[in-house]
Chain A
Amino acid sequence: MNAPTIWIVVPIFFGVLLLFINSQRALSILGGVFAAVLALIAQFVPLEEALRVGTFSFKIDSSLNVLGRVLVILPAEGSLLALIYGATALWFFGAEASKTATRLVPIGLMITGLMVASLAVEPFLYAALFIEMAILLAVPLLTSIYSPPGRGIIRFLIYQTLAMPFILVTGWLLAGVEASPGDLALAAQSTSMLGLGFAFLLAVFPLYNWVPMLFEETSPYIAGYLLWILPTITIIFGAGFLDRYSWLRSSSQLIDALRIAGLLMIVTGGLFAGFQRHLGRIMAYGVIAETGFSLLALSLDPQVGIPILFLLIPARALGQALWSFALTIIQDNVETLRFRATRGLLRITPFAGAAMIMATLSTGAFPLLAGFPARLALWEGLSRVSLSASLWMGIGIIGLLTSAFRSLAVVSMAEEYITWERRENLTQVSMLGLGMIGLVILGLFPQTVQYFLSELPTMFERLGR
Chain B
Amino acid sequence: MAITFAWIAVVVILVTSVGLLLVRDWRLIIILLAVQYLAMLVLILQHWPLGMATVKVVAGWMSAAILGMTRSGLPAQKFDDESIWPRGRLFRLFAAGIVGLMVSAATPGVSTIMADAGFAVTSGSLLLIGMGLLHLGITVSLLRVTIGLMTVLAGFEILYSAVEGSVLVAALLAIINLGLALAGSYLLIASNSSEDVEPEVESL
Contacts and interface: CB of A to CB of B under 8 A. Distances in A.
Interface of A: 22-26, 66-69, 99, 102, 126, 129-130, 132-133, 136-137, 139-140, 143-149, 151, 153-154, 157-158, 161-162, 164-165, 168-169, 172-173, 186, 189
A144 B183 CA distance: 12
A22 B204 CA distance: 10
Nearest to B181: A136
A154 B145 contact: yes
Given A129-B172, A161-B180, A173 B113 contact: yes
Contact of B166 (A25, A69, A189): A69
B187 to A, nearest CB: 5
Given A136-B183, A162-B152, 5 more contacts: A67-B167, A126-B172, A143-B190, A144-B190, A148-B191
Contacts of A165: 129, 152-153, 156, 160
Given A139-B183, A153-B187, A67 B168 contact: yes
A146 B197 contact: yes
Interface residues of B, number: 43
Interface string B190-204: 111111011101111
A23 B202 CA distance: 5
A83 B164 CA distance: 34
Contacts of A130: 172
A281 to B, nearest CB: 21
Contact of B198 (A132, A147, A149): A147
B54 to A, nearest CB: 16
13 contacts: A22-B201, A67-B168, A129-B176, A132-B176, A136-B176, A145-B189, A146-B193, A157-B145, A157-B187, A165-B129, A168-B156, A173-B113, A186-B113
Contacts of A149: 142, 187, 190-191
Best-surrounded residue of B156, B182, B187, B191 (most CB of chain A within 10 A): B187
Best-surrounded residue of B149, B194, B199, B204 (most CB of chain A within 10 A): B204
Contact of B203 (A24, A143, A153, A154): A24
Nearest to B189: A145
Given A24-B204, A168-B160, A172-B164, A151 B140 contact: yes
Nearest to B201: A102
B101 interface: no
- Top 8 closest A-B pairs, CB basis? A146-B198, A136-B179, A165-B156, A67-B168, A139-B183, A129-B172, A25-B204, A69-B168
B190 A161 contact: no
B171 interface: yes
B31 interface: no
B193 A99 contact: no
B186 A140 contact: yes
